[in-house]
Amino acid sequence: MKLNQYKEKKNHKKIIAIALVIIGLIGGIILEKTFASFKENKSFKVMEGNFIYEGKGDIIFAFYNTFKNQSLTKMPKKNEGYVYVKGECDKGASVEWNEEKWAPLVLNLDETKTTCSLYFERYSDSICDTTGENSGACYLARKADINTTDYAYDGKKFLNENGTDDNNLRFIGESPNNYVVFNDDYIWLGYDVNLQYTNYFNSYEECQASYYKYNCQKIRPAWQIIGVMNNVEDESGNIRSHIKLIRASIGEYSWDSSASNINNGYGVNEWSTSDIAKVLNENYYNKEAGGTCYNSYKNTVRECPKWEFIGLDSDARSMISKIKWHTGTMPVHYESQSELITPSYMYEVERSENNGKICIKDNSYCKDEENRTTIWTGYIGLSYLSDYGYATGGYKDSYWGDKTKEQCLNSAISTKDCFMRTWIYENYYGKNKSRWTITPSPSSGNTSSADNTAAEVFIMRYIENNMYGGKELSADAYSALSVNPVVYLKSNIKIEEDNSENYGSKDNPFRLTMD
């Protein structure tokens, strides 16, 4: 019995030993999934790119995505959209990064079993996490991971992170591929009876009812994507990333007009009660005839567009999110500080609690009873001045010289050479037209005193040959300027997959779908 008992114990120990070996092998395999270990080599491959070190020790690598500090099973490839963030080593070693070779250089590697952790990040991860991998916002963000540039003047499609706290993703340059089919809206070109003269129209019906009704042709989608805006709050308080669209002009109208006893008839620079906000969010949004439009001071009426032709249909309405729009502005008159109005500065003050009413002296240009607000919740707004500024992609010019995107972003928006060379400035049916923004302006404009303003609004002004100063970045609210509707899509809106090189162009625009 003792012998048998001894044999049983001996066999039991063998089984335990074998099990431990198996567990060790499995553990080693799992460890290899996260760590890369190398010995006694001066130069060798680390997944992708050469690993180079100085010293005589050996090393274990670990790779991480900074988003939620996720472990990566291997070092990411350069074409996967990651960027190197930092490297950390123990035992006195340090790491430097060679971007050209996409490789780490480890210095002072003198100890055995040195561990180095390499950290990478990918812009799209946070967007895709909040909107879903199948969302249109994620689709564009994944494209941006591998498609960014400091220049965008060569006409290719470029998406670029803009470096604000929200780090929004924007289409930049003069002609990116950012067209999208939305509301089945197109711009039409009509000809006169002799096919000599042309004009642009917002609908086929409008073209057919005009002098240019001959050979009406659909020439391009009316909507383009400004970009993916992060940290946008909707009416329910949800904060997510949303695709932001802008339409070609629906015509030239007053932002607001008023009776002569209210700001001398110049209108009121409060978006929530403005005339144009009302018709956009009622008649245009509901594809409903009617509404009252203006084109001059003291409530001068102009016929509204044919909302029943160009208004939003039920499919388009179902794609739009009701958003909390920021309507803040600069704290002071900007004429003396026009050089400070860079895209980043405007982005900041647009989200401030400053409003556009400054009434120090009592006169007829500064008399209204409207309560000023800096947050408005609605479906359809207008662009920000910063939207125009952040669309720059730099340029090359034999006369003006060359500027990178970063150089332009550090320039005032009143700098002609940078900000006239953008797609958002040049979009058809609105080209060569000054355009309204949603932002009130603390500028005296045409009022009688720089101490009084209640009817000025920031604009993107069209100019031809001359440089222009800060004063011309605003206009009286009653002025008849181009109205370009802007909307935010719901976060779950998808963009159909298409691997064509020209996807997003006017001939092959992005196509939207819903779950």
Assess contact for 226 and 244: CB atoms under 8 A: yes
Residues 292-314 have a mean pLDDT of 96
pLDDT over threshold 50, residue 152: no
Could you tell me the sign of the dihedral formed by the alpha carbons of 300, 202, 277, 459, in that order?
negative
Q: Encoding tokens for residue 79? A: 């074409």
For residue 344, the model assigns a pLDDT of 93
pLDDT over threshold 80, residue 338: no
For residue 460, the model assigns a pLDDT of 86
Assess contact for 70 and 34: CB atoms under 8 A: no
Residues 138-160 have a mean pLDDT of 66
Q: Encoding tokens for residue 312? A: 């939003």
pLDDT tens-digit series, residues 420-453: 788 887 654 545 678 999 999 986 544 444 556 7
| Least confident piece of the model among 130-139, 227-236, 251-260, 333-342 | 333-342
Work out the angle between the directed axes of helices 124-131 and 136-145 (0-180°, nearest 10): 170
pLDDT over threshold 80, residue 276: yes
502's CB contacts (< 8 A; 6+ apart) are: 177, 508
Q: How far apart are CA 260 and CA 377, in angstroms?
A: 29
Residues 112-139 have a mean pLDDT of 92
Please report which confidence band the pLDDT of residue 156 belongs to, taking 50, 70 and 90 as the band edges. very low
Q: How far apart are CA 261 and CA 119, in angstroms?
A: 63
Q: How far apart are CA 313 and CA 297, in angstroms?
A: 32
pLDDT tens-digit series, residues 301-310: 999 999 999 9
Assess contact for 119 and 95: CB atoms under 8 A: no
Q: How far apart are CA 117 and CA 14, in angstroms?
A: 38
Q: Is 1 helix (H, G, I), strand (E, B) or coil?
A: coil
Q: Is 187 helix (H, G, I), strand (E, B) or coil?
A: strand
pTM here is 0.84
Q: How far apart are CA 346 and CA 389, in angstroms?
A: 9
**How many CB atoms lie under 10 A from the CB of residue 414?**
21
| Least confident piece of the model among 187-201, 244-258, 279-293, 442-456 | 442-456
Q: How far apart are CA 407 and CA 394, in angstroms?
A: 7
For residue 199, the model assigns a pLDDT of 92
Q: How far apart are CA 436 and CA 459, in angstroms?
A: 5
For residue 401, report the phi and psi dihedrals to the nearest 5 degrees.
90, -170
DSSP 210-264: STTBEEEEEEEESEEEEEEEEEEEBTTS-EEEEEEEEEPP--EE-S----TTSGG
238's CB contacts (< 8 A; 6+ apart) are: none
Assess contact for 459 and 481: CB atoms under 8 A: yes
pLDDT over threshold 60, residue 461: yes
Which one-letter amino acid corresponds to residue 495?
I
Counted residue by residue, the chain has a size of 515
Assess contact for 109 and 55: CB atoms under 8 A: yes
Q: Establish how many alpha carbons lie within 13 A of residue 447's alpha carbon, considering only the half-sphere containing its beta carbon.
A: 37
Assess contact for 88 and 117: CB atoms under 8 A: yes
pLDDT tens-digit series, residues 166-200: 989 999 888 889 999 999 999 999 999 999 999 99
For residue 45, the model assigns a pLDDT of 45
Q: How far apart are CA 469 and CA 479, in angstroms?
A: 19
Longest dimension (CA), the chain: 117
Please report which confidence band the pLDDT of residue 244 belongs to, taking 50, 70 and 90 as the band edges. very high
Rounded alpha-carbon distances, angstroms, from residue 320 to 143, 244, 248, 488? 23, 10, 17, 6
**Which of 142, 162, 133, 181 shows the shortest CA–CA distance to 489?**
181
pLDDT over threshold 70, residue 201: yes
User: Mean pLDDT, the chain, as a whole number?
Assistant: 83
